[in-house]
Structure 1
Amino acid sequence: MNWQERIESKKDILSGKPVIKGTRLSVAFILERLADGWSEAMLMESYPQLKKEDIQAVFAYLNEFAKDGLIAELRS
């Protein structure tokens, strides 16, 4: 999955936060919903402009940052 096809960051949209292209739905917002227990189906029902590929792009985006070490490991 090439997340760059579905996620963009522009200064004039949500202060430059990464969003799903053509929407104001940020990557962080989608991740928050998923962390709160929302299913993919719930997201797409609540936000009809959101596609399954958009959610996959969010995971691909997060995976790239995780594997590149840009997300620090949590230590207890």
Structure 2
Amino acid sequence: MMNDQPIVSRSRDVVGGAAVFHGTRVPVRTLLDYLEAGESIDDFLEGFPSVTREHVIAFLEEAKDRVV
């Protein structure tokens, strides 16, 4: 969590229940698609200014912790 806020949230009312960065309508899958395509985090953030670098780093750290 970031500052006691979740990193990712889901709601049926927001993007059909897809996992989104909390407080935005930006699906987490979009970040993963950018990275998979060889785009940088900066490219992603430029395209989705409602997501902060803190969101992205916290999400990646949490994902890393689940894999390792």
For 1:11 and 1:61, locate their aligned partners in 2 and report how far apart those are by CA, in whole Å: 23
For 1:7 and 1:32, locate their aligned partners in 2 and report how far apart those are by CA, in whole Å: 16
Report 1:11-50 matches (<5 A).
Answer: 11-50=12-51
Moved over 4 A (4+): none
Aligned partner of 1:22: which letter?
Answer: G
* Structure 1 runs not aligned, ≥5 long: 68-76
* Structure 2 runs not aligned, ≥5 long: none
- Give me the TM-score of the superposition, normalised by structure 2: 0.75
Q: Cα distance, 1:64 vs. partner?
A: 4.7
- Indicate the structure whose relative CO is greater, using CA pairs within 8 Å and at least 6 residues apart: 1
Deviations 1:12-44 (A, max 9, x none): 112211101222111111111111111111111
Deviations 1:30-60 (A, max 9, x none): 1111111111111111111121111113213
CA RMSD after TM alignment: 1.9
Equivalent pairs, count: 66
Identity over aligned pairs, percent: 24
For 1:34 and 1:14, locate their aligned partners in 2 and report how far apart those are by CA, in whole Å: 21
